[in-house]
Amino acid sequence: MAKIRVLVGTRKGAFILMADGKRKRWRISGPHFAGWEIYHLKGSPADPDRIYASQSSGWFGQVIQRSSDGGKTWEAPGSSPADLVDPASGMPKGESNKFVYDTSDHGRPLTTHQWYDGTQHPWEFKRVWHLEPSPTDPDIAYAGVEDAALFRTTDGGKSWRELPGLRGHESGPRWQPGAGGMCLHTIVLDRHDPRRLFTAISAAGAFRSDDGGESWCPINRGLRSQYIPDPTAEVGHCVHRIAMHPARPNVLYMQKHWDVMRSDDAGATWYEISDNLPSDFGFPIDVHAHEPDTIYVVPIKSDSEHYPPEGKLRVYRSRTGGRDWEPLTRGLPQRDCYVNVLRDAMCVDSLDPCGIYFGTTGGQVYGSADGGDSWAPIVRDLPAVLSVEVQSLA
Protein backbone atom coordinates (compact mmCIF):
# COMPACT_ATOMS: atom_id res chain seq x y z
CA MET A 1 0.00 0.00 0.00
CA ALA A 2 1.16 3.50 -0.77
CA LYS A 3 2.36 5.74 2.02
CA ILE A 4 2.09 9.48 2.48
CA ARG A 5 4.74 11.80 3.91
CA VAL A 6 3.62 15.34 4.74
CA LEU A 7 6.43 17.85 5.28
CA VAL A 8 5.57 20.78 7.54
CA GLY A 9 7.75 23.86 8.00
CA THR A 10 6.99 26.09 10.99
CA ARG A 11 8.31 29.11 12.85
CA LYS A 12 10.15 26.84 15.28
CA GLY A 13 11.15 23.70 13.42
CA ALA A 14 10.09 21.07 10.90
CA PHE A 15 7.68 18.18 11.39
CA ILE A 16 7.16 15.05 9.29
CA LEU A 17 3.76 13.33 9.26
CA MET A 18 3.46 9.75 7.97
CA ALA A 19 0.42 7.64 7.11
CA ASP A 20 -0.61 4.76 4.88
CA GLY A 21 -2.82 5.21 1.85
CA LYS A 22 -5.98 5.31 3.95
CA ARG A 23 -4.68 8.49 5.62
CA LYS A 24 -6.53 7.83 8.87
CA ARG A 25 -3.72 7.35 11.40
CA TRP A 26 -0.60 9.49 11.42
CA ARG A 27 2.86 9.23 12.95
CA ILE A 28 4.50 12.55 13.76
CA SER A 29 8.24 13.16 14.05
CA GLY A 30 9.89 16.40 15.08
CA PRO A 31 10.67 19.06 15.69
CA HIS A 32 13.64 18.81 13.39
CA PHE A 33 15.85 21.92 13.70
CA ALA A 34 13.94 22.92 16.83
CA GLY A 35 13.74 26.67 17.33
CA TRP A 36 14.70 27.56 13.74
CA GLU A 37 12.34 28.98 11.14
CA ILE A 38 11.81 26.40 8.42
CA TYR A 39 10.42 28.43 5.54
CA HIS A 40 9.99 25.49 3.19
CA LEU A 41 10.60 21.76 2.89
CA LYS A 42 10.10 19.84 -0.31
CA GLY A 43 10.85 16.30 -1.40
CA SER A 44 12.37 15.27 -4.70
CA PRO A 45 9.95 13.68 -7.19
CA ALA A 46 12.94 11.75 -8.55
CA ASP A 47 13.99 10.19 -5.21
CA PRO A 48 11.49 9.60 -2.36
CA ASP A 49 14.29 9.70 0.22
CA ARG A 50 15.63 13.13 -0.80
CA ILE A 51 14.23 16.19 0.99
CA TYR A 52 15.48 19.79 0.92
CA ALA A 53 14.76 22.26 3.74
CA SER A 54 15.25 26.00 4.06
CA GLN A 55 16.44 26.69 7.61
CA SER A 56 16.62 30.35 8.63
CA SER A 57 17.35 32.47 11.67
CA GLY A 58 17.47 36.22 12.15
CA TRP A 59 20.58 35.71 14.28
CA PHE A 60 22.43 33.02 12.38
CA GLY A 61 21.33 33.41 8.77
CA GLN A 62 20.32 30.90 6.11
CA VAL A 63 21.21 27.22 5.79
CA ILE A 64 19.95 24.67 3.27
CA GLN A 65 19.55 21.26 4.86
CA ARG A 66 19.29 17.99 2.93
CA SER A 67 18.08 14.55 3.92
CA SER A 68 18.84 11.42 1.90
CA ASP A 69 16.83 9.04 4.10
CA GLY A 70 13.35 10.55 4.21
CA GLY A 71 14.03 12.99 7.04
CA LYS A 72 15.67 10.63 9.56
CA THR A 73 19.00 12.44 9.34
CA TRP A 74 20.06 15.77 7.87
CA GLU A 75 23.17 17.51 6.62
CA ALA A 76 24.08 20.94 5.27
CA PRO A 77 25.86 19.87 2.08
CA GLY A 78 28.90 21.87 1.09
CA SER A 79 29.24 23.42 4.52
CA SER A 80 32.22 22.75 6.71
CA PRO A 81 31.94 23.03 10.52
CA ALA A 82 33.54 26.46 10.19
CA ASP A 83 30.65 27.52 7.97
CA LEU A 84 28.08 26.50 10.57
CA VAL A 85 29.66 27.41 13.93
CA ASP A 86 31.10 30.71 15.12
CA PRO A 87 34.48 29.81 16.67
CA ALA A 88 34.30 32.62 19.22
CA SER A 89 30.87 31.81 20.65
CA GLY A 90 30.38 28.20 19.62
CA MET A 91 26.95 29.19 18.33
CA PRO A 92 25.64 28.16 14.92
CA LYS A 93 25.82 30.58 12.05
CA GLY A 94 24.21 30.42 8.67
CA GLU A 95 24.53 31.72 5.12
CA SER A 96 26.14 28.44 4.21
CA ASN A 97 25.85 26.23 1.11
CA LYS A 98 27.64 28.91 -0.96
CA PHE A 99 24.89 30.96 -2.58
CA VAL A 100 26.73 32.98 -5.22
CA TYR A 101 25.04 36.02 -6.77
CA ASP A 102 25.91 36.98 -10.31
CA THR A 103 26.98 40.61 -10.04
CA SER A 104 26.60 41.69 -13.64
CA ASP A 105 24.75 40.97 -16.85
CA HIS A 106 26.55 41.95 -20.03
CA GLY A 107 28.45 44.51 -17.97
CA ARG A 108 25.35 46.05 -16.38
CA PRO A 109 25.60 46.12 -12.57
CA LEU A 110 22.90 44.27 -10.68
CA THR A 111 23.62 45.65 -7.26
CA THR A 112 20.73 48.05 -6.63
CA HIS A 113 17.01 48.36 -7.16
CA GLN A 114 14.72 51.37 -6.87
CA TRP A 115 11.93 51.70 -4.31
CA TYR A 116 8.73 53.71 -4.63
CA ASP A 117 10.37 56.84 -3.26
CA GLY A 118 13.03 56.73 -5.98
CA THR A 119 15.87 55.79 -3.62
CA GLN A 120 18.35 53.09 -4.59
CA HIS A 121 18.73 50.04 -2.36
CA PRO A 122 21.34 47.29 -2.53
CA TRP A 123 20.33 43.73 -3.35
CA GLU A 124 20.71 41.59 -0.24
CA PHE A 125 20.56 37.83 0.29
CA LYS A 126 18.19 37.42 3.25
CA ARG A 127 16.51 34.00 3.10
CA VAL A 128 15.30 31.19 0.88
CA TRP A 129 11.52 31.26 0.52
CA HIS A 130 10.91 28.33 -1.78
CA LEU A 131 12.70 25.18 -2.92
CA GLU A 132 11.68 23.32 -6.09
CA PRO A 133 13.50 20.03 -6.80
CA SER A 134 13.80 18.78 -10.35
CA PRO A 135 11.22 16.15 -11.35
CA THR A 136 13.97 14.00 -12.93
CA ASP A 137 17.24 14.50 -11.00
CA PRO A 138 17.44 14.55 -7.18
CA ASP A 139 20.67 16.59 -7.24
CA ILE A 140 19.08 19.46 -9.18
CA ALA A 141 16.88 21.95 -7.34
CA TYR A 142 15.88 25.59 -7.64
CA ALA A 143 15.69 28.17 -4.85
CA GLY A 144 13.72 31.41 -4.78
CA VAL A 145 15.23 33.95 -2.41
CA GLU A 146 14.77 37.39 -0.90
CA ASP A 147 15.80 39.83 -2.32
CA ALA A 148 14.19 38.33 -5.39
CA ALA A 149 16.54 36.09 -7.34
CA LEU A 150 16.54 32.54 -8.67
CA PHE A 151 19.27 30.02 -7.85
CA ARG A 152 19.96 26.46 -8.96
CA THR A 153 22.05 23.64 -7.56
CA THR A 154 23.26 20.73 -9.65
CA ASP A 155 25.25 19.02 -6.88
CA GLY A 156 22.58 18.26 -4.30
CA GLY A 157 22.81 21.59 -2.50
CA LYS A 158 26.57 21.88 -2.05
CA SER A 159 26.63 25.06 -4.11
CA TRP A 160 23.99 27.36 -5.57
CA ARG A 161 24.48 29.57 -8.62
CA GLU A 162 22.20 32.39 -9.62
CA LEU A 163 20.36 32.28 -12.93
CA PRO A 164 21.04 35.98 -13.58
CA GLY A 165 18.72 36.44 -16.54
CA LEU A 166 15.73 36.95 -14.24
CA ARG A 167 17.20 39.62 -11.99
CA GLY A 168 18.91 41.05 -15.06
CA HIS A 169 15.63 41.65 -16.84
CA GLU A 170 15.26 45.29 -17.81
CA SER A 171 12.34 45.62 -15.37
CA GLY A 172 14.47 44.46 -12.41
CA PRO A 173 15.33 47.92 -11.08
CA ARG A 174 11.57 48.66 -10.83
CA TRP A 175 10.66 45.64 -8.71
CA GLN A 176 9.19 46.55 -5.32
CA PRO A 177 8.94 44.72 -1.99
CA GLY A 178 5.57 43.48 -0.81
CA ALA A 179 4.53 43.38 2.83
CA GLY A 180 6.69 40.30 3.40
CA GLY A 181 9.69 41.62 1.50
CA MET A 182 10.82 41.39 -2.10
CA CYS A 183 10.73 37.64 -2.34
CA LEU A 184 10.72 35.08 -5.12
CA HIS A 185 8.25 32.68 -3.54
CA THR A 186 6.90 30.51 -6.36
CA ILE A 187 8.73 28.27 -8.83
CA VAL A 188 6.74 26.08 -11.24
CA LEU A 189 8.49 23.60 -13.54
CA ASP A 190 6.86 22.29 -16.70
CA ARG A 191 7.34 18.51 -16.62
CA HIS A 192 6.63 18.28 -20.35
CA ASP A 193 9.26 20.88 -21.26
CA PRO A 194 12.32 21.03 -18.98
CA ARG A 195 13.31 24.37 -20.48
CA ARG A 196 10.10 26.10 -19.35
CA LEU A 197 9.97 27.65 -15.86
CA PHE A 198 7.55 30.03 -14.16
CA THR A 199 8.28 32.24 -11.16
CA ALA A 200 6.34 34.75 -9.09
CA ILE A 201 7.78 37.67 -7.14
CA SER A 202 6.17 39.91 -4.54
CA ALA A 203 5.65 42.61 -5.62
CA ALA A 204 6.88 42.42 -9.20
CA GLY A 205 4.60 39.81 -10.78
CA ALA A 206 4.94 36.58 -12.72
CA PHE A 207 7.66 35.65 -15.20
CA ARG A 208 8.26 32.82 -17.67
CA SER A 209 11.42 31.38 -19.19
CA ASP A 210 11.39 29.14 -22.27
CA ASP A 211 15.14 28.51 -22.39
CA GLY A 212 15.97 26.94 -19.05
CA GLY A 213 16.20 30.20 -17.11
CA GLU A 214 18.60 32.06 -19.37
CA SER A 215 16.08 34.74 -20.35
CA TRP A 216 12.68 35.76 -19.00
CA CYS A 217 9.56 37.65 -19.97
CA PRO A 218 6.94 39.18 -17.66
CA ILE A 219 3.54 37.46 -17.92
CA ASN A 220 1.22 39.92 -16.22
CA ARG A 221 -1.15 41.01 -19.00
CA GLY A 222 -4.70 41.17 -17.66
CA LEU A 223 -3.70 41.67 -14.03
CA ARG A 224 -5.15 44.72 -12.29
CA SER A 225 -3.73 46.19 -9.10
CA GLN A 226 -5.16 49.02 -7.04
CA TYR A 227 -1.99 51.06 -6.66
CA ILE A 228 -0.77 50.77 -10.25
CA PRO A 229 -2.41 53.52 -12.31
CA ASP A 230 -1.25 52.10 -15.64
CA PRO A 231 -3.49 49.10 -16.52
CA THR A 232 -0.85 47.84 -18.95
CA ALA A 233 2.02 47.95 -16.43
CA GLU A 234 4.59 45.28 -17.22
CA VAL A 235 5.56 44.69 -13.58
CA GLY A 236 4.52 45.77 -10.11
CA HIS A 237 1.74 43.27 -9.34
CA CYS A 238 1.74 41.39 -6.04
CA VAL A 239 1.26 37.76 -7.09
CA HIS A 240 0.82 35.40 -4.14
CA ARG A 241 0.93 31.98 -5.78
CA ILE A 242 0.76 30.15 -9.14
CA ALA A 243 -0.43 26.57 -9.68
CA MET A 244 -0.35 24.24 -12.68
CA HIS A 245 -1.76 20.78 -13.37
CA PRO A 246 0.98 18.57 -14.87
CA ALA A 247 -1.32 17.37 -17.66
CA ARG A 248 -2.12 20.90 -18.87
CA PRO A 249 1.02 23.05 -18.58
CA ASN A 250 -0.48 25.94 -20.55
CA VAL A 251 -3.30 26.39 -18.01
CA LEU A 252 -2.18 28.35 -14.95
CA TYR A 253 -4.09 29.47 -11.88
CA MET A 254 -3.08 32.43 -9.74
CA GLN A 255 -3.96 33.83 -6.34
CA LYS A 256 -2.85 37.42 -6.21
CA HIS A 257 -3.21 40.33 -3.84
CA TRP A 258 -6.93 40.57 -4.56
CA ASP A 259 -8.27 38.42 -7.42
CA VAL A 260 -8.08 34.77 -8.35
CA MET A 261 -6.94 34.51 -11.97
CA ARG A 262 -6.60 31.97 -14.78
CA SER A 263 -4.49 31.81 -17.92
CA ASP A 264 -5.05 29.41 -20.82
CA ASP A 265 -1.95 30.44 -22.77
CA ALA A 266 0.98 29.84 -20.39
CA GLY A 267 0.59 33.24 -18.73
CA ALA A 268 0.46 35.40 -21.85
CA THR A 269 -2.97 36.69 -20.74
CA TRP A 270 -5.00 36.35 -17.56
CA TYR A 271 -8.68 36.68 -16.66
CA GLU A 272 -10.45 36.77 -13.30
CA ILE A 273 -12.31 33.71 -11.91
CA SER A 274 -13.20 34.88 -8.38
CA ASP A 275 -16.81 35.95 -8.92
CA ASN A 276 -18.71 34.10 -6.16
CA LEU A 277 -15.97 33.76 -3.54
CA PRO A 278 -16.64 35.50 -0.19
CA SER A 279 -13.31 37.30 -0.65
CA ASP A 280 -10.91 37.27 -3.57
CA PHE A 281 -7.96 37.85 -1.25
CA GLY A 282 -5.86 34.90 -0.13
CA PHE A 283 -2.49 33.24 -0.39
CA PRO A 284 -2.52 29.56 -1.50
CA ILE A 285 -4.00 27.98 -4.61
CA ASP A 286 -3.67 24.38 -5.78
CA VAL A 287 -5.02 21.94 -8.37
CA HIS A 288 -6.51 18.47 -7.85
CA ALA A 289 -4.05 15.71 -8.80
CA HIS A 290 -6.38 13.98 -11.27
CA GLU A 291 -8.91 16.65 -12.24
CA PRO A 292 -7.28 19.61 -14.04
CA ASP A 293 -10.43 21.72 -13.71
CA THR A 294 -10.68 21.25 -9.92
CA ILE A 295 -8.89 23.96 -7.94
CA TYR A 296 -8.74 25.00 -4.29
CA VAL A 297 -8.29 28.34 -2.52
CA VAL A 298 -8.59 29.56 1.07
CA PRO A 299 -10.18 33.05 1.14
CA ILE A 300 -8.91 35.54 3.72
CA LYS A 301 -10.95 38.58 4.70
CA SER A 302 -8.57 41.29 3.49
CA ASP A 303 -4.98 42.41 3.15
CA SER A 304 -5.18 44.02 6.58
CA GLU A 305 -7.33 41.35 8.29
CA HIS A 306 -5.51 38.09 7.69
CA TYR A 307 -8.20 35.71 8.88
CA PRO A 308 -11.16 33.90 7.29
CA PRO A 309 -14.31 35.89 6.45
CA GLU A 310 -16.85 35.73 9.31
CA GLY A 311 -14.35 33.74 11.38
CA LYS A 312 -15.25 30.58 9.39
CA LEU A 313 -12.40 28.47 8.08
CA ARG A 314 -13.52 27.39 4.61
CA VAL A 315 -11.65 25.90 1.71
CA TYR A 316 -13.34 26.77 -1.58
CA ARG A 317 -13.35 24.31 -4.47
CA SER A 318 -14.17 24.89 -8.11
CA ARG A 319 -14.77 21.89 -10.33
CA THR A 320 -15.25 24.07 -13.39
CA GLY A 321 -11.87 25.73 -13.68
CA GLY A 322 -13.02 28.75 -11.70
CA ARG A 323 -16.47 29.44 -13.18
CA ASP A 324 -18.14 28.74 -9.84
CA TRP A 325 -17.05 27.84 -6.31
CA GLU A 326 -18.39 25.80 -3.40
CA PRO A 327 -17.40 26.07 0.29
CA LEU A 328 -15.91 22.97 1.93
CA THR A 329 -16.59 23.12 5.66
CA ARG A 330 -17.14 19.61 7.05
CA GLY A 331 -14.66 19.13 9.89
CA LEU A 332 -13.37 22.73 9.81
CA PRO A 333 -14.13 25.31 12.55
CA GLN A 334 -17.07 27.49 11.57
CA ARG A 335 -16.99 30.04 14.34
CA ASP A 336 -14.39 32.18 16.12
CA CYS A 337 -11.54 31.07 13.84
CA TYR A 338 -8.96 33.76 13.12
CA VAL A 339 -6.00 31.90 11.66
CA ASN A 340 -4.29 32.48 8.32
CA VAL A 341 -3.12 30.01 5.65
CA LEU A 342 0.10 31.11 3.96
CA ARG A 343 1.05 30.74 0.31
CA ASP A 344 3.13 27.55 0.61
CA ALA A 345 0.89 25.97 3.26
CA MET A 346 -1.44 23.94 1.02
CA CYS A 347 -0.73 20.92 -1.19
CA VAL A 348 -2.27 17.84 -2.79
CA ASP A 349 -1.13 14.22 -2.95
CA SER A 350 -1.30 11.94 -5.98
CA LEU A 351 -3.45 9.15 -4.52
CA ASP A 352 -6.98 8.29 -5.62
CA PRO A 353 -9.07 9.75 -4.11
CA CYS A 354 -6.88 12.82 -4.00
CA GLY A 355 -5.76 14.11 -0.60
CA ILE A 356 -5.63 17.82 0.24
CA TYR A 357 -3.60 19.26 3.13
CA PHE A 358 -3.13 22.72 4.63
CA GLY A 359 -1.61 24.28 7.72
CA THR A 360 -2.52 27.41 9.65
CA THR A 361 -0.75 30.12 11.57
CA GLY A 362 -2.53 28.68 14.63
CA GLY A 363 -0.46 25.50 14.34
CA GLN A 364 -3.09 23.13 12.96
CA VAL A 365 -2.54 20.85 9.96
CA TYR A 366 -5.77 19.63 8.34
CA GLY A 367 -6.11 16.82 5.86
CA SER A 368 -8.82 15.54 3.55
CA ALA A 369 -8.66 12.05 2.02
CA ASP A 370 -11.70 12.61 -0.23
CA GLY A 371 -10.84 15.58 -2.40
CA GLY A 372 -11.98 18.14 0.18
CA ASP A 373 -15.45 16.80 0.99
CA SER A 374 -14.47 16.29 4.64
CA TRP A 375 -11.56 17.37 6.81
CA ALA A 376 -9.87 16.32 10.04
CA PRO A 377 -6.96 17.78 11.99
CA ILE A 378 -3.83 15.66 11.61
CA VAL A 379 -2.00 17.57 14.32
CA ARG A 380 -2.71 20.63 16.49
CA ASP A 381 -0.68 23.08 18.53
CA LEU A 382 2.40 23.24 16.33
CA PRO A 383 4.20 26.55 15.92
CA ALA A 384 2.77 28.75 13.17
CA VAL A 385 2.83 26.74 9.93
CA LEU A 386 4.79 28.29 7.04
CA SER A 387 4.69 25.49 4.48
CA VAL A 388 3.06 22.13 3.81
CA GLU A 389 4.26 19.74 1.11
CA VAL A 390 3.50 16.07 0.49
CA GLN A 391 5.24 13.03 -0.97
CA SER A 392 3.33 9.99 -2.18
CA LEU A 393 5.55 6.95 -1.52
CA ALA A 394 5.23 3.52 -3.13
Q: Is residue 374 part of a domain?
A: yes
Choosing from 205, 240, 272, the residue where a domain stops is 272
373, 375, 367, 301: which is closest to 339 by C-alpha?
301
Same-domain status, 171 and 242: yes
Range of 119's domain? 42-272
With a CB cutoff of 8 Å and minimum separation 6, the contacts of 240 are 185, 200, 202, 254, 255, 256, 257, 282, 283, 284, 285, 343
Query: In total, how many domains does the chain have?
Result: 2
Same-domain status, 8 and 72: no
pLDDT in tens, 20-44: 999 999 999 999 999 999 999 999 9
Choosing from 272, 302, 335, the residue where a domain stops is 272
Do 285 and 254 contact (CB within 8 A), yes or no? Answer: yes
Same-domain status, 120 and 182: yes
- The three-state DSSP-derived secondary structure of 296-325 is EEEEECCCCCCCCHHHCCCEEEECCCCCCC
Q: Is residue 285 part of a domain?
A: no
Per-residue pLDDT averaged across 215-225, rounded? Answer: 94
Same-domain status, 105 and 215: yes
Do 257 and 224 contact (CB within 8 A), yes or no? Answer: no
Q: Is residue 238 part of a domain?
A: yes
Alpha carbons 148 and 336: distance in angstroms, whole number: 36
Q: Is residue 167 part of a domain?
A: yes
Same-domain status, 375 and 258: no
Same-domain status, 158 and 244: yes
pLDDT in tens, 80-96: 444 444 444 444 444 45
Same-domain status, 109 and 212: yes
pLDDT in tens, 339-361: 999 999 999 999 999 999 999 99
Same-domain status, 82 and 179: yes
The helix (run of H) or strand (run of E) holding residue 164 is: helix 164-167
Same-domain status, 234 and 94: yes
Q: Is residue 241 part of a domain?
A: yes
Same-domain status, 168 and 301: no
Same-domain status, 320 and 174: no
* Residue 325 one-letter amino acid: W
Q: What CATH code is carried by the domain that includes residue 366?
A: 2.130.10.10
Tell me the pLDDT of the chain averaged across its residues. 90
* Residue 48 one-letter amino acid: P
Output the CA–CA distances (angstroms, integers) from residue 251 to 193, 254, 266, in the order listed: 14, 10, 6
Question: With the CA atoms of 261, 132, 47 and 83 taken in that order, what torsion angle do they form, in degrees rounded to the nearest 10?
Answer: -160
Alpha carbons 187 and 282: distance in angstroms, whole number: 18
343, 344, 348, 341: which is closest to 364 by C-alpha?
341
pLDDT in tens, 162-198: 999 998 899 988 888 888 889 999 999 999 999 999 9
Q: Look at the pTM and tell me if it is higher than 0.85.
A: yes
